[in-house]
Chain A
Amino acid sequence: MDKKKEVNDIEPGPDSSRSVDRFGFIKTEQSNSQEGVLKSRSTHERGREERRIRKWRKMIGAGGSDWKQYCRRNPHVVKRRIRKGIPDCLRGLVWQLISGSRDLLLMNPGVYETLVIYETSTSELEIIRDISRTFPSHVFFQQRHGPGQRSLYNVLKAYSVYDRDVGYVQGMGFIAGLLLLYMSEEDAFWLIVALLKGAVHAPMEGLYQPGLPLVQQYLFQFERLVREHMPKLGEHFIEEMINPSMYASQWFITVFSYSFPFPMTLRVWDVFLYEGIKVVFQVGLALLRFCHDDLVKLPFEELLHSLRNFPEDATDPDKLLPIAFSFKVLSHLEELEKEYRKRLEGPNASSSSKRLQPLKSKSMRRVGSQVLSNSNVGMATAFKAFVNSPVGPKTTHFWGPVANWGFVLAGLVDLNKPPEMISGNMTAAMCVYSGLFMRFAWMVQPRNYLLLACHASNETVQLYHLSRCAKAQGYLDKKVPEAQQ
């Protein structure tokens, strides 16, 4: 179908005359300065690096055998060492250990192979189109149909089959590409599964699901954090009509693996895999803080430019990460998430949007139970949500049960009447009737608690009447027939 691809097959391939940096990216004139940073780092750190590797090897044990125990005993040591950076030669292994992907791999032998070989994905063409556009400046991914491109394709295809709701989304390629530089295809696949399905931290598949729900949530949270921690800059962004989706959406979608210097990406990933998504917020805030004094002066256009092209200093992990860790965001992130959810549910409850139906009915259930227990329904939003809910007072599912309380009331009034007046057949029918309705109220979606309560009460009352009736007619009195004889 894509004939263009064949024409382009006479691709340059890895050009041996061009030199690559220590991570395998082809050097360009512009990246000389970045290289300078690396050189000074490597000479400065060489001796220390070796000692660090020894410490790390001891901590991990052979093939990761001691890792879990060490983590349990010394979580703070692990956290501190990871923040300093995982030694490059152990990175692949440690990433698998801290992300929980190792366990997934061991629990699912042969699954990856099946996904790659036997399954077909509707996203295959889309993936192919992006393969040569993922890290095009890295030697591993340059050669058309070379091992790099092939493994990238396999991992992405396998995931698109593994989770067909998500399929393939642009941006995943950069994450997969990054991982493939440090581990095998299968390992990379399970690490993506661990991240998106939430093996250790909260699942991140919402980043790629239709409507990009998690991207929207993260951007909302990030905007609020900026306003909180850097009010002046937050104000400036509002004045210049800059919103975070203009600059930060790729930070979240690719977890800084897209268009940032590679040394920074790696260090961010070390911490991100261990500490979770809060790190992305912290690093984002740190970038803004680093350039704060310049940013607040810039008008719209230059501002956007600066937010996409941070100075070298700002992206030096040794300078950036300490700033990042100085932001305490975790509890605030949780509050903001709740606030965001509430906002989503508020307008959604009154609309009949089908897309968010599951969320909606869940909130209804909660509201329904609040009504039952007669507790504070006073919250305006909760009340509004209840009014508009599928079992609310605008529907027969509310008024039906209300009318049925009439049975209960009538039954209660009859409690003082002589038992001879009770019709046994009618009361028995009422018992069966309420029993059936209790089952209906429980099974129906959304569960109708009002109806359930009503028929549970009626069942109780009618059973009591039935017992009175039975007693009066002598069914329960065993001694009477004997005495008659």
Chain B
Amino acid sequence: MAANSGNKIRNAKLVLLGDVGAGKSSLVLRFVKGQFVEFQESTIGAAFFSQTLAVNDETVKFEIWDTAGQERYHSLAPMYYRGAAAAIVVYDISNQASFTRAKKWVQELQAQGNQNTVVALAGNKADLVETRQVQIEEAKTYAQENGLFFMETSAKTATNVNDIFYEIAKRLLQGQAAQNPQAGMILSQRPNERVVSASSCCS
């Protein structure tokens, strides 16, 4: 998954948004470290991770901002989603309120007006089928209407976790190629870096 090919590395800023306890940190930890903890410490402020992904013959390096979910921390969020190439809006399929909150995040991102931002909707905790409150169809329809791509994920069982990041990487590369075929792509304002290594922090 993490790749160290000789190709150019594209940096992409990605932000995770969603309700308290939807599983934002767990998704990132699964993706970056391949780990899962049942009781993940609450995120205070925000946490930063990075991970590289090879897509065909190109490499995308995600700079991931994992934000705190509580409404009170909302005032800090714009700093993290501003200039982001991609966003994953996470909700918990066993909690209807978290889906409502996810919709609010989507609205806020859309109001930002950056149409190039790839927005993914992740219905997390897909392993909790018995206590499901948000139906797949409902989320799918919502995602289609709003031009998001949607997946149900489970950080616990690792279902679709790498897939959702892979899909984002693919779309980023496609979008970039379509828009700006000749020039090198800039997915975030940060300059490309030489080092290719999976690193992470604040777990």
Contacts and interface: CB of A to CB of B under 8 A. Distances in A.
A385 B195 CA distance: 51
Contacts of A3: 94, 131
A4 B44 contact: no
B145 interface: no
A100 interface: no
B20 A212 contact: no
A89 interface: no
B72 A169 contact: yes
A212 B48 contact: no
Interface in B170-203: 189-190, 193, 195, 199-202
B47 interface: yes
Contact of A301 (B46, B50, B95, B202): B50
A346 B64 CA distance: 35
> Helix, strand, loop or mixed for chain A's interface?
loop
Given A4-B94, A4-B95, A7-B128, A212 B72 contact: yes
A308 B201 contact: yes
Contacts of A12: 38
A130, A211, A249, A301, most chain B CB atoms within 10 A: A301
B181 to A, nearest CB: 28
A174 interface: yes
A259 B202 contact: yes
Nearest to B131: A3
Given A212-B76, A254-B44, A299-B193, A304 B68 contact: no
A304 B47 CA distance: 9
B125 A130 contact: no
A210 B72 contact: yes
Contact of B73 (A11, A170, A241, A305): A170
Interface string B33-49: 00001111111111110
A136 B39 contact: yes
A253 B45 contact: yes
Given A8-B38, A245-B45, A250-B45, A170 B131 contact: no
Interface string A222-258: 0000000000000000000101011001100110001
Given A132-B39, A246-B48, A250-B44, A308 B202 contact: yes
A133 B41 contact: yes
Contacts of B63: 301
A210 to B, nearest CB: 7
B39, B48, B73, most chain A CB atoms within 10 A: B39
B79 interface: yes
Contact of A126 (B37, B39, B70): B70
Contacts of A7: 128, 130-131
Interface in B41-81: 41-48, 50, 63, 68-70, 72-73, 75-76, 79
Contacts of B92: 4
Given A211-B75, A308-B201, A133 B42 contact: yes
B18 interface: no
A174 B50 CA distance: 26
Contacts of B193: 299-301
A245 B79 contact: yes
Contacts of A169: 70, 72
Contacts of A210: 72
A308 B48 CA distance: 9
B21 interface: yes
Interface string A97-133: 0000000000000000000000000000010011011
B21 A129 contact: yes
A173 interface: yes
A136 B76 contact: no
Nearest to A126: B20
A300 B95 contact: no
Interface string B104-134: 0000000000000000000001001011000
A309 interface: yes
Interface in A1-20: 2-4, 7-8, 11-12
B21 A133 contact: yes
Given A126-B70, A133-B21, A308-B202, A4 B131 contact: yes
A304 B201 contact: yes
B72, B131, B189, B190, most chain A CB atoms within 10 A: B72
Nearest to A132: B39
Interface string A164-195: 00000111011000000000000000000000
Contacts of A173: 42
A253 B75 contact: no
A134 interface: yes
16 contacts: A2-B95, A4-B92, A4-B94, A133-B42, A134-B41, A136-B37, A136-B40, A136-B41, A169-B70, A174-B44, A211-B75, A212-B76, A253-B44, A302-B199, A308-B201, A309-B201
Q: What are the 6 tightest A-B residue pairs by CB atom distance, in nearest-first order?
A: A249-B45, A136-B39, A308-B201, A3-B131, A250-B44, A308-B202
